[in-house]
Structure 1
Amino acid sequence: MAFALTIDGKPAPASETFAVIDPATGREFAQCPLATVAQLDQAVAAARAAFPGWAALPIEQRAAALNAIADALAAECDDLAALLSQEQGKPVRSAAGEIQGSIHWIRTTAGFRPEIERIDQADGSRAEIHRKPLGVVGSITPWNFPVMIAIWHVMPALLAGNTVVLKPSPSTPLATLRMVEIANRHLPAGVWNVVTGDVEIGSGIAKHPGIDKVVFTGSTPTGRAIMRDGAANLKRLTLELGGNDAAIVLPDADVEAIAPQIFQYAFGNSGQICAAIKRVYVHDTLHDALAERLAELAAAAKVGPGSDPETHYGPVQNRRQFDYVRTLADDARAQGGRFLAGGEPLAGDGYFFPLSIVVDVTDGHRIVDEEQFGPVLPLIRYSDVEDVLARANASENGLGGSVWSADVSRAAALAQRLECGTAWVNSHSKISPDVPFGGAKQSGIGVEFGMHGLDEYMQLQIVRLPAEAA
């Protein structure tokens, strides 16, 4: 299958390509076009030219285009899922779930409608708060959920009346290229463009004077670089950055009831989720029982190629992340950590690391302090609730956190004291297209989803009207 950039509604060839690696084999399986900075400029110019006409359309027409895109993606779900599975590594059924979830997200987003707010003044005049599109939005997406996160970025931007230039991760560009090609059948030329590349193109988007906003999901260091590069023209920013989410298990929790859920929220997508559980603080009285149960679940999980129908969890997506996960596991072992399950890479080709449970580690160890973004979960003992709350909050990250207890009221009160953007009770990682989501501290700026997320793609304009217009 041949792949192309999409610029101004048309396939755009590239003079150079780069290899896309199948993480199940560690070998190349496709070539992807490599955009030049000149092609980025062309994409931005196309988006700027398309902006006035797209912004002028009634929102109902823009919403209809979004729903048409959802219909088109649904018709090609199987092919997209197979391609996504091969480049990302996740099982085909999980990839299909990502496509289906993206379709649901599009349809929900298409139903949002910003309102004109009215503020009446004592002298009989009034102020109206209108929301207007910003212009051209640059979207930079990661490799863990390449299709879904592109939809999170792009659909509210389009609904609000902006046009878009998207750059997918060079590790997982292909399903995104195909998705944008499909979407362009239902959009005016130039409304949604896609260019591929690595640092040069990403930095080019952040610096580009023709781009009014950047939305980025990825690491905190890269988010800082985008913020710095975007300062030249005071770009609006939405940054969803790294997380090191803590789960606190209180002494009254039911181990048998919560173990499968904690396991699911820690190891979904092989642990490659920003808001996955990354460290579990367990009260002394429950620690050993929960650790044993999680180890049993990890040992029973089948890790393998995404193409195998029996696979539950795929490989780590790329060599760099695989090596990092292995380094953290080795460091944990060197610090006295005991692996009750996993702990060593699997033999053979590909970037396979088993689901791993490690105990006898604590704060100050890399496996606890750093975000693994892979299938290794540390369990940390505690005895005092106030102390464990302070330890959970000591991280510079603040994406999510959770509290697990039979007493929901007590857990909710503690959850509200976590320093994070979303706090769950007896759950974790659950998100919805109508509920805002974003990070605290070094985990990001701004929010996504729902009306609050839509606001991030619009500029407030206040219109003051005299009393006689009331």
Structure 2
Amino acid sequence: MWINGQSVQGEAEPLDVLNPATEEVIVTVNNASVAQLDAAVDAAKQAFSSWQYSSHDDRKQALNRIADNIENNAAELAEIVVKEQGKPMFLAQAEVSGAVAWTRYAAGMDIPTDIIEDSENKRIEVQHKPLGVVGSITPWNWPLMIAIWHIMPALRAGNTVVCKPSGLTPLNTLKLFELIQQELPAGVLNVVLGDAEIGNAMSEHPGIDKIIFTGSTPTGQQIMRNASSNLKRLTLELGGNDAGIILPDADIDAIAEGIFQTAFLNMGQTCAALKRLYVHESQYDQVCSKLADIAQQQVVGDGLADGTTFGPVQNKKQLDLVAALVDDAREQGANVLSGGSRSDSAGYFYPPTIIAGAKAGMRVVDEEQFGPVLPVISYSDLDDAIAQANASNVGLGGSVWSSDLEKAQQIASKLECGTAWINGHAEVLPHAPFGGCKMSGFGVEFGLQGLLEYTQPQTININK
């Protein structure tokens, strides 16, 4: 781990990091003790006393040097991602490239001063000051990219950071921090390993001023309860069960590949992946058939193997959930058109699975699968499809697929979600705010709005 610029060994219980393609142990690491977390927070607080006054130019230059370091170590980082997370190499390479691009974008952002009044006798302006110590808790599905999403705007705004990566995928974060340490003063960035004990200790720690968390809704709720101790600022990007609606005028041949890729991005292990697809009855059979054909063309295997297009589920717990949801749908009369059972070989492999005849009340529709499964639901009335899409206590993303953009935009505005895409899904961009509503959390990431989530506004009222 990295605490106050030093590489340190964890003092708590050992943790095996597995390769999901082989189920073999890659390496054993040690979790941090709560005392080590305290040391990391103390280091971050001490570093903040000077880092908060660093110039914007100095921070920009530091982030650009970090981007250079990531780029220069891209091959190693991508291989680590494949080994501990499971995704195919081409997708891991895209994750590393995205990390570089996102870091450079954060480096280029300016933090504005808002002028409220500038009259003969008075000037009122709003400045945006860093918060202090930011606690980052990252998940296992996009371990490198999401760490970058959390850390870079925090640093750009003048905060210091204590990060806890998922115990399932800690290795690329440790390598990333090794690269970052070279460009920052000691204590500005710290990383500790740990399970729920360390996560809870972070969210209730009096020395941490903000928590940014990407993960499940129940964990987000626990963080929110813990954060009340010192009224921490929170950005919570939680679970989603994103719905897509295909309108009857859509060109199925043109959109089928896009639907498949956005539903099965990262083997479906993406918060904002398309997870429920509503199709008009006039096109239902055609859509199901095309999606099943694309699914059957995928090459499922180890992400390091040539030609692999579809990797394993990351861990056994998630694999068991996916299998249970598919079995439940099958028992309730749904038709599994592709996939539908795990591989007999070693590794947590589950092929892309298309489920026809899905309907509300089936677990695979009502619950977030977070895996390689897509239920396809038939509708006859568009208003009913919208109601079904909104009949969820989560609201991260949603999409409408149509040749009529004006009509699609009207429907998209009725979806209860933080981002609505038209003729696309799961696309996040560094300049477009992204966040959820309902039980998918609150606060946004990306763009100026996302950057300002790491700041405290201060109104300066000047009497001339």
Which interval holds the TM-score relative to the shorter structure? over 0.9
Cα displacement string for residues 189-209 of structure 1 (whole angstroms, at most 9, x for unaligned residues) = 000000001101111110100
CA distance in 2, matches of 1:74, 1:207: 35
Q: CA deviation at 1:121?
A: 6.8
Corresponding residue of 2:27: 30
- CA positional deviation for 1:123: 7.6
Residues 98 and 147 of structure 1 are in contact (CA less than 8 Å); yes or no, is this contact kept in structure 2?
yes
Corresponding residue for 1:42? 39
Instruction: Quote how far apart the aligned CAs of 1:97 are.
Output: 1.1
Query: Is it true that 1:63 corresponds to 2:69 in the alignment?
Result: no
Structure 1 gaps of 5+ residues are: none
1:343 and 2:344 equivalent? Answer: no
Counterpart in the other structure of 1:10: 6
Which residue matches 1:223?
220
Report how far residue 41 of structure 1 moved. Answer: 0.4
* Per-residue deviation, 1:332: 0.6
| Residue 303 of structure 2, aligned match among 306, 311, 321 | 306
Aligned match for 2:248, one of 246, 251, 268: 251
| Cα distance between partner residues in 1 of 2:9 and 2:22 | 28
Q: Determine what percentage of the aligned residue pairs are the same residue.
A: 53
Structure 1 residue runs of 4 or more that deviate by more than 4 Å after TM superposition: none
Which of the residues 192, 207, 210 maps onto 2:207? 210
Q: Which residue of 2 aligns with 1:431?
A: 428
Greater mean alpha carbon deviation, residues 177-186 or residues 121-130: 121-130
C-alpha distance in 1, partners of 2:10/2:418? 41
User: 1:78 maps to what in 2?
Assistant: 75
Partner of 2:48: 51
Aligned position for 2:320: 323
**In the aligned structure 2, how far is the partner of 1:464 from the partner of 1:27?**
62
Unaligned runs of 5+ in 2: none
Provide Cα deviations, 1:281-325, integer angstroms capped at 9, x if missing partner. 000000000000000000110111111121101100001000000
Letter of the 1:254 partner, please give it.
D
How big is each residue's C-alpha offset from its partner over 1:130-176, in whole Å with a ceiling of 9 and x where there is no partner?
00000000000000000000000000000000000000000000010
Contact 1:436 1:450 survives alignment (8 Å): yes
Rounded to whole Å, the distance in 2 between the matches of 1:453 and 1:60 is 20
Alignment of 1:12-411 (within 5 A): 12-15=8-11, 16-120=13-117, 124-411=121-408
Decide whether the 8 Å contact of 2:278 with 2:378 is kept in 1.
yes
Tell whether the 8 Å contact from 2:10 to 2:29 is kept in structure 1 after alignment: no
CA distance in 2, matches of 1:293, 1:32: 45
Aligned-residue offset at 1:17: 2.4
2:419 is aligned, of 419, 422, 426, to 422
Alignment partners' CA distance in 2, 1:179 and 1:355: 31
The Cα offsets for residues 222-244 of structure 1, whole Å up to 9 and x where unpaired, read as 00000001110000000000000
SS class of match (2:264): helix
Which range is displaced more, 123-132 or 210-219?
A: 123-132
Q: What SS class does the counterpart of residue 108 from structure 1 fall into?
A: helix
Distance 1:401 1:148 in 2: 22
Offset, 1:122: 7.2
**Hey, what's the Cα distance between the residues in 2 that align with 1:343 and 1:123?**
72
Distance 2:34 2:119 in 1: 54
Which amino acid in structure 2 is aligned with residue 139 of structure 1?
A: S
In 1, the alpha carbon distance for the partners of 2:14 and 2:97 equals 30
The residue identity in structure 2 corresponding to 1:297 is I
Code of the residue aligned with 1:124 in structure 2: it is N
Alignment coverage as a number of residue pairs: 463
Please give the alpha-carbon distance, in whole angstroms, between the structure 2 residues aligned to 1:120 and 1:411.
Answer: 41
Contact 1:14 1:33 in 2 (8 A): yes
**Alpha carbons 1:91, 1:309 under 8 Å: kept:** no
**Which amino acid is the alignment partner of residue 399 of structure 2?**
S
Task: Give the deviation of 1:33 after TM superposition.
Answer: 2.4
TM-score (norm: length of structure 1): 0.97
What is the CA distance between 1:74 and its match in structure 2? Answer: 0.6
Q: Contact conserved, 1:32 with 1:173, CA < 8 A, in 2? A: no
Instruction: Report if the CA contact (8 A) 1:209-1:233 is conserved.
Output: yes
Supply the distance in 1 between the matched residues of 2:166 and 2:102 (Cα, whole angstroms). Answer: 21
Measure how far apart 1:27 and its partner are: 2.2
Inter-partner Cα distance in structure 2 for 1:402 and 1:365: 21
- Matched residue type, 2:320: D
TM norm structure 2 = 0.99
Assess if the C-alpha contact under 8 Å between 2:278 and 2:385 holds in 1: yes
SS of the equivalent of 1:271 reads coil
Which moved further from structure 2: 13-22 or 117-126?
A: 117-126
Residue of structure 1 in register with 2:444 after alignment: 447
Give the Cα separation in 2 of the matches to 1:464 and 1:325. 57
Q: Distance in 1 between matches of 2:317 and 2:121?
A: 63
Residue identity in the other structure for 2:4 = D
Say if 2:438 is the partner of 1:462.
Answer: no
* Superposition deviation, residue 14 in structure 1: 2.3
Higher mean displacement: 349-358 or 112-121: 112-121
| 1:397-441 per-position Cα deviation (integer Å, ceiling 9, x unaligned) | 100000001101100111011000000010111111011000011
Question: Residue 32 of structure 1 contacts residue 174 of structure 1 at CA under 8 Å; is this kept in 2?
Answer: no
Query: Contact (CA 8 Å) 1:303, 1:352: kept in 2 or not?
Result: yes
Q: Report the 3-state secondary structure (helix = DSSP H, G, I; strand = E; otherwise coil) of the residue aligned with 1:232.
A: coil
Distance 2:112 2:50 in 1: 21
CA distance in 2, matches of 1:112, 1:200: 35
1:7-45 deviation line (CA, Å, top 9, x unaligned): 001101224421001101122121122111110000000
